[in-house]
């Protein structure tokens, strides 16, 4: 009946082991293998210049990965479009290697007209998907380089109002293509209460515009501790961030990463001061793998199937036809009919050409006949006139000139 052969799963029997077998070591095998291969992670930062993007990346990975950008004098020639720049670094912690790539988008939101600031960013993210898709479709897929963006940190200006049109437009355009992580930049410029209210407004706007920001997934079999940790992280979104790689002294004599103000020190790594620790926990300690997985399984997968469908590839239909002879016969019949129709059309065309050719020829000979007829008629008319002239002369008694009459007679005899 054309349905796929059903493979019955074997009956499941639960058995107790009599002794040590060794598969409890499987997770360790996976662990060793992935440590050997190393990890890849690509983060994108988006936001107006001066919001602390480079500072935050350096703070997150505790390196001077990012050189602060040269501040251009007001007279300098500035680029007119959003640029895409990326830098990679291999960093290592306890023998685990991570190739970190940061994609920066200088120019975003920096122009008088920022209407299409999101466009080059969408194009960049899509071209990374395209490059992955192209590699997947190669004959040799041994060495696929994954340049897809796994997380996008979107920096919101600490205005205390609500999201601006440019923020909403950007998130709406990007939320189906990248894991969005909203961040309130330079949170040390706002009071605790202002931050709480600002976060509420941002979340309302995000809900109102149906924007999906990255959410930590919760699994049923997760332990209590991990669940609480995830809930605490989720409660902090959008993260209010203070960035700094500078070491400063606190009044009680500690040396911390932070920003020193006349009224005190703001510590980056102090959870009472900002959400930096929670952001780092999510981005690096607990959910880097989730971000990568969500990119592959949901965001890339959607892009891929839309793209292939757009190209007219109906992925599974060929397999379906293999197991469905009726469908195959139907397709062959359609092909055959199309072939017949094409032949008929070709024959018709040849026939019409021949008819047109014949008609052309007939018309031509008809015209020739007419022309001959006209010529003969004219010659006869001329003769008639001459004869009449001759008759008139004879009747009036005027003799014809011998030479003229001879010529005329001759011509008359010839015709």
Q: Which residues bind ligand GDP (CB under 6 A)?
A: 49-55, 68-69, 186, 188-189, 242-243
Nearer to ligand GDP, 51 or 206 (CB): 51
Minimum Å gap between C-beta 188 and ligand GDP is: 5
Of 68 and 399, the one with the shorter C-beta distance to ligand GDP is 68
Pick the closer one to ligand GDP by CB: 171 or 241. 241
Residue nearest to ligand GDP (CB): 52
| Angle subtended by helix axes 402-414 and 325-396, to nearest 10 | 150
Running DSSP on this structure, what letter comes out for residue 68?
Answer: P
Nearest approach, Cβ of residue 87 and ligand GDP (Å): 12
What minimum distance in Å lies between the beta carbon of 124 and ligand GDP?
18
Specify the long-range contacts of residues 71-79, CB closer than 8 Å, at least 24 apart. 78/110, 79/106, 79/107
DSSP 3-state percent helix, strand, coil across the chain (nearest 5)? 50, 15, 35
For strands 85-93 and 96-104, give the pairing. antiparallel
CA 145 – CA 122 distance, rounded (Å)? 20
Q: Which two tokens stand for residue 42?
A: 């690509």
Q: Least distance (Å) from ligand GDP to the CB of residue 287? A: 22
CB of 121 to ligand GDP, least distance (A): 15
39-71: burial string, b at 16+ Cβ within 10 Å, e else: ebbbbbbbbbbebbbbbbbbbbbeeebbeeeee
Q: Which is nearer to ligand GDP, 185 or 299 (CB)?
A: 185
Question: What is the distance of C-alpha 401 from the center of its chain?
Answer: 103
Nearer to ligand GDP, 273 or 294 (CB): 273
Q: CA 225 to CA 410: how far, in whole Å?
A: 134
Nearer of residues 69 and 391 to ligand GDP, judged by Cβ: 69
Beta carbon of residue 158, minimum distance to ligand GDP (angstroms, whole number): 9
Q: Which residues are registered as beta bridge partners of 42? A: 101
Q: Which of 147, 173, 137, 139 is nearest to 304 (CA)?
A: 137
| Long-range CB contacts for residues 403-409, cutoff 8 Å, separation at least 24 | none
User: How far is the C-alpha of 315 from the C-alpha of 132, rounded, in Å?
Assistant: 18
Whether omega before 327 lies within 30 degrees of 0, making that bond cis, reads no
Least distance (Å) from ligand GDP to the CB of residue 288? 22
Q: Of the candidates 134, 141, 180, 155, which has an alpha carbon nearest to the alpha carbon of residue 47?
A: 155
- Taking the complex as a whole, the smallest distance from the CB of residue 51 to ligand GDP amounts, in Å, to 4
Choose between 69 and 358: whose C-beta lies nearer to ligand GDP. 69
Of the pair 70, 316, the CB lying nearest ligand GDP is at 70
Could you tell me the smallest distance in angstroms from the CB atom of residue 76 to ligand GDP? Answer: 15
Query: Which is closer to ligand GDP, CB of 41 or CB of 108?
Result: 108
């Amino acid at each position: 009946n054309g349905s796929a052969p059903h493979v019955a799963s074997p009956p499941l029997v639960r058995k107790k082991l009599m002794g040590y077998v060794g598969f409890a070591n499987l997770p360790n095998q996976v662990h060793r293998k992935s440590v050997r291969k190393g990890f890849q992670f690509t983060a994108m930062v988006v936001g107006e210049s001066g919001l602390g993007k480079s500072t935050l990346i350096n703070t997150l990975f505790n390196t001077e990965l990012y050189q602060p950008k040269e501040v251009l004098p007001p007279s300098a020639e500035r680029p007119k479009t959003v640029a895409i720049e990326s830098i990679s670094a291999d960093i290592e912690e306890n023998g685990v290697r991570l190739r970190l790539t940061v994609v920066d988008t200088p120019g975003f939101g920096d122009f008088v007209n920022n209407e299409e600031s999101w466009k080059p960013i969408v194009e960049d993210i899509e071209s990374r998907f395209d490059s992955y898709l192209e590699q997947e479709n190669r004959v040799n897929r041994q060495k696929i380089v994954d340049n897809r963006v796994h997380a996008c940190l979107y920096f919101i200006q600490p205005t205390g109002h609500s999201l601006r049109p440019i923020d909403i437009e950007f998130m709406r355009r990007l939320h189906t293509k990248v894991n969005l992580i909203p961040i309130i930049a330079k949170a040390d410029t706002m009071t605790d209460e202002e931050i709480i209210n600002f976060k509420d407004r941002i979340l309302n706007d995000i809900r109102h515009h149906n924007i999906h920001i990255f959410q930590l997934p919760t699994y049923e079999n997760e332990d209590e501790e991990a669940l609480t940790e995830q809930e605490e992280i989720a409660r902090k979104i959008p993260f209010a961030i203070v960035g700094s790689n500078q070491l400063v002294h606190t009044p009680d004599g500690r040396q911390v990463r932070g920003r020193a103000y006349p009224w005190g020190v703001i510590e980056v790594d102090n959870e009472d001061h900002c959400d930096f620790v929670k952001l780092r926990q999510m981005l690096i300690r607990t959910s880097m793998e989730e971000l990568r997985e969500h990119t592959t399984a949901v965001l890339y997968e959607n892009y891929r199937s839309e793209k292939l469908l757009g190209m007219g590839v109906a992925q599974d239909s060929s397999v379906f036809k293999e197991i469905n002879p009726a469908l195959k016969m139907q397709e062959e019949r359609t092909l055959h009919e199309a072939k017949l129709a094409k032949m008929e059309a070709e024959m018709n065309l040849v026939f019409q050409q021949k008819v047109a050719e014949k008609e052309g020829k007939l018309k031509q000979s008809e015209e020739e006949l007419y022309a001959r007829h006209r010529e003969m008629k004219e010659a006869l008319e001329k003769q008639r006139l001459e004869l009449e002239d001759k008759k008139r002369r004879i009747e009036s008694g005027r003799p014809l000139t011998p030479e003229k009459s001879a010529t005329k007679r001759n011509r008359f005899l010839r015709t």
